[in-house]
């Protein structure tokens, strides 16, 4: 039954993406290349709605099969659906940043309410409950993860590959440690992303848009908190799995703050954007992210999940080369001005 559900979600996501592409072309919902773009061909956007719809339709099936409980269902559908609706509205007409942020915080608080807040953390062998401070930090974490996912969705396939890698990696580690109830929701999201990736793989025929990227950022954050309720070490596991996006987005933001640049303005200063310009194509950078996730971050996350490595130590080890790599590619420096990275795309 589950296998058929996963296949059905992937198929539905792919079909819906194709339909959304035709809709976007008919309604001229097109991303036109400009000085801040990393693409050179006008491309339809908003295809991430297919991920949202196919996943949210399948979540109640997991509930009726007894795989997830009602609270988890409400957390996923309410927070994910709310963020997606807000992103869809912004894709079709600009929404002021303050209202978007209010919506993001509302979705995060909704999810944490139904998840009973941030679970206790495993820190250097001690299980620590941070109480209300932990819930505040968890709210900020969810909002930041949502927004950094928007920031990092800038080249063909990168956000899809990251979500697919994290979902499959997280599902594998939950299965490996015997927490089978957490595997199937991740499998559903991976299936939904896979159907979309058929159209989004470089060279992309359609972009994800804010509806899809914000949805993925929120859900991956929700899954990380759900998993840590099963095992406190799993919050660190997820921070490791998401390392490429967290390090690039955070380092870029900090660098821009230090330079006195308005951080809310559109820009092309992420490390992955510098790397794309240097290599002249999107595909090598997207594949590099997949390789880093598979060959570096997943093994470290597995050591933490098996309690062979402390979580905080694992995060530090995982992030050190990522920070060096991001700095090497000029995270936070504008393309064509602060750093010469080669030919334009």
pLDDT of residue 341: 34
Long-range Cβ pairs for the range 257-266 (8 Å, 24+): 258/332, 259/332, 264/97, 266/36
pLDDT of residue 133: 95
Mean pLDDT, range 98-105, rounded to an integer: 94
What proportion of the chain, given as a percentage, has pLDDT over 90?
78
pLDDT of residue 336: 63
If one compares 279 and 40, the residue with the highest pLDDT of the two is 279
pLDDT of residue 57: 97
Per the CB < 8 A criterion, the answer to whether 156 and 286 are in contact is: yes
| Backbone φ and ψ of 127, nearest 5° | -95, 115
Token output for 222: 């929700």
Longest dimension (CA), the chain: 57
pLDDT of residue 192: 98
Range in 45-54, 131-140, 260-269 with the lowest mean pLDDT: 260-269
CB atoms within 10 A of CB 298: 21
Kindly report, residue by residue over 142-173, the tens digit of the pLDDT: 999 999 999 999 899 999 999 999 999 999 99
Mean pLDDT, range 29-42, rounded to an integer: 65
**Model confidence band, residue 344 (pLDDT cutoffs 50, 70, 90):** very low
Ranges of each domain in the chain? 2-328
Per the CB < 8 A criterion, the answer to whether 71 and 115 are in contact is: yes
Residue where the block lists tokens 């979902």: 167
**Model confidence band, residue 345 (pLDDT cutoffs 50, 70, 90):** very low
d(CA 4, CA 7): 5
Residues that constitute the known binding site: 150, 210
pLDDT of residue 216: 98
Per the CB < 8 A criterion, the answer to whether 156 and 204 are in contact is: yes
CB atoms within 10 A of CB 66: 8
**Burial letters for 109-148: b for 16+ Cβ neighbours within 10 Å, e otherwise?**
ebbbebbebbbbbbeeeeeeebeeebbeebbebbbbbbbb
Residues that constitute the known binding site for Mg(2+): 150, 210
Mean pLDDT, range 306-317, rounded to an integer: 96
């Amino acid at each position: 039954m589950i296998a058929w559900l996963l296949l059905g979600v992937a198929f539905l996501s792919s079909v819906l993406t194709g339909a959304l592409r035709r809709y976007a072309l008919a309604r001229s919902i097109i991303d036109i290349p400009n000085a801040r773009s990393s693409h050179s061909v006008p491309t339809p956007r908003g295809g991430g709605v297919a991920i949202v719809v196919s996943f949210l339709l399948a979540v109640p099936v997991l509930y009726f099969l007894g795989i997830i409980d009602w609270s988890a269902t409400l957390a996923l559908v309410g927070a994910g659906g709310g963020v997606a609706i807000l992103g869809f509205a912004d894709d079709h007409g600009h929404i002021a940043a303050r209202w978007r942020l209010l919506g993001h915080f509302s979705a995060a608080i909704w999810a944490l309410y139904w998840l009973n807040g941030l679970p206790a953390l495993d820190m250097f062998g001690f299980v620590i409950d941070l109480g209300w401070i932990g819930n505040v930090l968890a709210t900020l974490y969810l909002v930041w993860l949502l927004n950094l996912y928007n920031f990092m969705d800038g080249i063909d396939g990168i956000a899809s590959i990251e979500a697919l890698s994290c979902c499959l990696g997280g599902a594998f580690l939950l299965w490996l440690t015997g927490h089978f109830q957490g595997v199937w929701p991740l499998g559903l999201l991976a299936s939904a992303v896979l159907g979309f990736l058929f159209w989004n793989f470089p060279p992309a025929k359609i972009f994800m848009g804010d509806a899809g990227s914000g949805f993925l950022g929120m859900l991956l954050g929700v899954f990380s908190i759900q998993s840590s309720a099963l095992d406190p070490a799993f919050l660190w596991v997820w921070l490791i799995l998401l390392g490429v996006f967290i390090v690039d987005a955070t380092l870029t933001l900090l660098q821009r703050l230090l330079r006195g640049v308005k951080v809310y303005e559109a820009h092309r200063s992420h490390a992955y954007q510098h790397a794309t310009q240097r290599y002249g194509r999107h595909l090598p950078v997207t594949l590099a992210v997949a390789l880093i996730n598979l060959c570096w971050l997943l093994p470290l996350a597995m050591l933490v999940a098996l309690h062979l490595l402390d979580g905080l130590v694992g995060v530090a080890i995982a992030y050190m080369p990522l920070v060096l790599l991001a700095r090497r590619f000029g995270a936070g420096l504008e393309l064509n001005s602060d750093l010469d990275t080669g030919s334009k795309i």
